[in-house]
Chains A and B, each alone.
Chain A
Amino acid sequence: DIQMTQSPSSLSASVGDRVTITCQASQHIKKYLNWYQQKPGKAPKLLIYDAYNLHVGVPSRFSGGGYGTDFTFTISSLQPEDIATYFCQQYDIPPWTFGQGTKVEIK
């Protein structure tokens, strides 16, 4: 299975800060990388697919980038409603696998 490694595992930032999460794949996955947001007690929500495409209805402060093995997820200006755990997920080779998650908190 392809291993997905996210960093950091948690972070604390102030409202308005730029926040960046990285995700590294154990092998080349082209652009087949998605990002999800999960709030406590809720199901995950798709934010970004194919590395950088914003899913419908997702605010433009969220963005993604990368190709191959190294990917980034950025919140340009952290808002209180962005408090959540974020997961990356690859779908180049099944089984699809997820990163362990990054918990984002407000400082």
Chain B
Amino acid sequence: QVQLQESGPGLVRPSETLSLTCSVSGDSIRTSRYYWSWIRQPPGQGLEWIGYIYDSGNTHYNPSVKSRVTMSEDTSKNQFSLRMTSVTAADTAVYYCTRERPGYMDVWGKGTTVTVSS
């Protein structure tokens, strides 16, 4: 059974960098045919697809955050990561990592809440 688990700081100061990691079990991100993506959900709002990483480091980002986002993977640890710079209060959200087929997200982590505040 494939499982994903997000980890990272729950509080980030404005203008600083948000860094999250997703640990994958039950599948190998190195050999998998799937893509690995991040999605976020601001409090009480809908879902926003941030982007994905696939095939040993290829990425595709949402233009809404493209200038501030970097995704990477550590195949030795079977993890992939999200880095978002210059955060503001608008980046406060629950962040989910997912396995993507691509186009549809069939496995989700439980989510991690990130609050941007001083």
Contact = CB atoms under 8 A, between A and B. Distances in A.
A22 interface: no
Interface residues of A, number: 23
Interface in A23-52: 32, 34, 36, 42-46, 49-50
Q: Is the interface of A mostly helix, strand, loop or mixed?
A: loop
Contacts of B87: none
A26 to B, nearest CB: 15
A71 interface: no
Interface residues of B, number: 20
Contact of B49 (A46, A55, A97): A97
Contact of A46 (B64, B102, B105, B110): B105
A43 B111 contact: yes
A98 to B, nearest CB: 4
A20 interface: no
Given A44-B108, A49-B101, A98-B49, 6 more contacts: A42-B110, A44-B105, A45-B108, A94-B60, A97-B49, A99-B46
27 contacts: A1-B63, A32-B103, A36-B47, A36-B105, A42-B110, A43-B96, A43-B111, A44-B96, A44-B105, A44-B108, A45-B108, A46-B105, A49-B101, A49-B104, A50-B104, A55-B106, A89-B47, A91-B102, A95-B62, A95-B63, A96-B103, A97-B49, A98-B46, A98-B47, A98-B48, A98-B49, A100-B46
